[in-house]
Structure 1
Amino acid sequence: MSRSTLWLLFAVLAVAARPAAAAFPADANPDPRSISVSGSAEIKVPPDEVLLSVGVESRAIVLADAKRTNDADVAKALAFLRASGVADKDVQTDYVNIEPRYPYDSGAKVVARLQPEFYVVRKSIGVRLTRVGAYEEVLAGLLANGAQYVHGIEFRTSQLRKHRDAARALAIRAAQEKADALASELGVRRGPVRSVSESYSGGWWRGGSGGWGNVGGGQAMQNVIQQTGDGGNGEDGTLAVGQISVNATVSASFAIE
């Protein structure tokens, strides 16, 4: 190998052996100074739909009798909903349970304990009401037409996306104003945003026991009173629907200039 070829090879190896950091510009590692803040906003809106969950329970020594009674009570409740103008698509039987109950006697023979004392048949009916003002009347009618338990009451807004967008815009403005106030107190200026995240909550109000786990207290109709507001009060009833909250929180980090 000639001397000129060796010299060229050594030059190539020297370039390749340089530290990798030297190939990057000096400002590749940005200034880490920043201000981190969070802004929150809450919007109050009247609900425009109600989700109800009620339960029908029947007991009998013979399983067929318990099931027959339960089917009759459920049919009575469904007929009432249909007569009240609730569309079939807004009604669903979403829970069915058959449970044998055995007598408890520590001294009884095993064979005796295997014989059920009676049977319990349970079904739940879910209802979606788009007429919020009819909520009280419908719930009272269900309890008078086959249903014995109130498992859940949920006031919702069908415009949740729109209200969340509005709450987010207010939360962003709050975060910016907070960052400007902090920067002003520190004698610096707020720079461009470095990172941002968002979270939401609300859009509904829920009441009731939530299921068959607490059947003892669900027999009385529940009148739910929330913060009163325009457009949500029931007509000719004791119900005050009020408003529900839609909340948004934005967390942001801004550079300091």
Structure 2
Amino acid sequence: MSGSGIVSGTPDTLRATVGVQVERGSVQEALDAANEAAQRVIDAVREGGVADEDIQTERFSINPRYEFDEGPRTRRIAGYEVANQLTIKIRDIDASGSTLDASARAGGDDAVVNGVGFMLEDNAELLRQARERAFEDARQRAEQYAELAGSDLGEVVSIVEDQAPSPQPFFADTMQGRAESAVPIEPGSQDVEVRVTVRWELG
């Protein structure tokens, strides 16, 4: 028989992509401006308590920006865009709003914040509870079918667990530009689900 167990908990980690996206007339100008702004963002999230191992470069790119001339429809390079973005994990949820705010302010008008979502990294106790509920769910079903078959439930033959993926609630898709005040954060709740298939003998 199959059973499932679901337990809800409060997320303990916020993950976000922060950084800068800069456009200037030349590659060197764009690169210099992006490097300076990205370092300010890194310094800001570090000051907000984000550990070095929770800061990882996700994207770095240099791309020309083209404009099309009227008439012969030829294109020309109008400037260059440099993007430098980091994935950060904020483990202090209470401080996450001020940390995101600080990163946006540090990036100025070139700031980018996106892909913000919550995670449950320390979910060992919730998994234990979900396993208990999943097994009990399967056992109750098995007992009912055994009774319907005019038999008793015997020994457990096998147990196979399937840990269901938990959806991550997002409170924002994209925030670009300068924040005027601390970003309001609502972590809500997140489910941990375990599915289990248990085989019993019929006694």
TM-score tier by shorter-chain length is 0.7 to 0.9
3-state SS in 1 of match to 2:77:
coil
Q: Deviations over 1:134-168 (max 9, x none)?
A: 11111122112106322222322332344323312
Distance in 2 between residues matched to 1:220 and 1:194, nearest whole Å: 59
What 5-or-longer segments of structure 1 have no aligned partner? 1-36, 210-216, 222-235
Residue 43 of structure 2 corresponds to residue 79 of structure 1? yes
Q: Is the 8 A contact 1:156 1:203 kept in 2?
A: no
Write the distance in 1 (CA, Å) between the matches of 2:12 and 2:87: 17
For 2:148, the equivalent position in structure 1 comes to: 185
Q: Which residue of 2 aligns with 1:241?
A: 187
Q: Contact conserved, 2:19 with 2:41, CA < 8 A, in 1?
A: no
TM-score (norm 1): 0.67
| Structure 1 residue 70 displacement after superposition | 0.9
Q: Do the aligned partners of residues 59 and 186 (structure 1) sit closer, same or farther apart at CA in structure 2, a change above 3 Å counting? A: same
Q: Does 1:131 align with 2:108?
A: no
Aligned partner of residue 152 in structure 1, secondary structure: strand
CA distance 1:151–1:45, change in 2 (3 Å): same
What's the offset of the Cα at 1:53? 1.2
Aligned-residue identity in percent = 24
Residue 149 of structure 1 corresponds to which residue in structure 2?
112
In structure 2, distance between residues paired with 1:46 and 1:238: 16
Deviating beyond 6 angstroms after TM superposition, the runs of 4 or more aligned structure 1 residues are none
TM-score by length of 2: 0.82
Cα deviation, residue 62, structure 1: 0.8
Point out where structure 2 has 5 or more consecutive residues left out of the alignment.
none
Counterpart of 2:21 in structure 1 is 57
Q: What amino acid maps onto 1:118 in structure 2?
A: G
CA separation of 1:194 and 1:105: change in aligned 2, threshold 3 A: farther
- Give the 3 Å change call, closer, same or farther, for CA 87–179 of structure 1 in structure 2: same
2:134 is the alignment partner of 1:171: yes
The CA RMSD measured in Å over matched residues stands at 2.8
Structure with more contact order per residue of length (Cα contacts < 8 Å, sep ≥ 6): 2
Question: Which has the larger Rg?
Answer: 1
Quote the offset at 1:91 in angstroms: 1.9
**Deviation of the 1:48 alpha carbon:** 2.0
Contact 1:160 1:203 in 2 (8 A): no
Of residues 174, 193, 198, the one that matches 1:252 is: 198
Q: Tell me the number of residue pairs that the alignment of Structure 1 and Structure 2 aligns.
A: 198
Letter of the 1:138 counterpart: T
Give the residue type in structure 2 aligned to 1:151.
N
Secondary structure in structure 2 of the residue aligned to 1:85: coil
Which amino acid in the other structure matches residue 132 of structure 1?
Answer: I
